[in-house]
Structure 1
Amino acid sequence: MTQETITLYEAIGGDDTVKALTRRFYELMDTLPEAARCRAIHPSNLAESEEKLYEYLSGYLGGPSLYIEKRGHPMLRRRHFVAEIGAEERDEWLLCFRRAMDDTIANEKLRDIIWEPVERLAHHMQNKE
């Protein structure tokens, strides 16, 4: 008997869920007063940011490597140096991501699996005290 391995991408619902997650994330960032600092370091139009996060998360979660195919290696920290990301911006980003996951990924265990590396990544992105 062989065991089939599925990716997080497949387990959460694939492309539709990743799109819903990124859409919800940016809706929250754009509307939550408690995410104002994080919102302020983003462009006025969030469409390109949403597209990039969607592409990145698709590959990150084990789906198609859309970001790499289109834009090359993510080099996330380097690409984010244009924005000053302190603890407040980081925590506001994480707040939006957590709520977006809660709103779009039904399985709590899958949300927990995704959360830990995302939280580590957000801390890594901080570039100011």
Structure 2
Amino acid sequence: MSTSFYEAVGGDEFFTALVEGFYAQVREDDLIGPMYPQDDWEGAEQRLKWFLAQYWGGPTTFNEKRGAPMLRRRHFPYEIGDAEARRWLSMMSNSLDQLEVSAAHRDALWDHMVRVAAMMINKE
């Protein structure tokens, strides 16, 4: 029986730490911090953790609670340009750097994050 990516990196513990590290930075960020729900930090963290865990082979909690991800549609109300995408990636990289994960798993996560950040850009 093969191990899922989710299990291989440490499951819920890994994704919780990744998202917590990311959001610790977002709360203080002047560029993308204001895009996040100031009255629902915990909910925003939970949703991102659900999404990442599900994408990488973990529980399907995101779909059960929120429906299909529709990432671009959900983020369309926010003006996301190259600067915002680069800042998001920088904070994700910082968070990822704090975790123990194999180079192959880190590369796979990073490649996905770079593609998602580029896909979210909706302004010049």
TM-score, with normalisation over the residues of structure 2?
Answer: 0.92
Q: Pick the aligned partner of 1:39 from 33, 37, 49.
A: 33
Q: Distance in 2 between matches of 1:42 and 1:8?
A: 28
Deviations 1:25-80 (A, max 9, x none): 1002223xxx4211122122422211110110110111011100111101010011
Q: Distance in 1 between matches of 2:4 and 2:116?
A: 19
Q: Which position in structure 2 is the counterpart of 1:52?
A: 47
**Structure 1 residue ranges without an equivalent (≥5):** none
Identity %: 37
Q: Which position in structure 2 is the counterpart of 1:98?
A: 93
Q: Distance in 2 between matches of 1:11 and 1:57?
A: 14
* Per-residue deviation, 1:95: 0.6
Q: Pick the aligned partner of 1:27 from 21, 24, 30.
A: 24
**Structure 2 residue ranges without an equivalent (≥5):** none
The answer as to whether partners of 1:59 and 1:65 remain within 8 angstroms in 2 is yes
Number of equivalences: 123
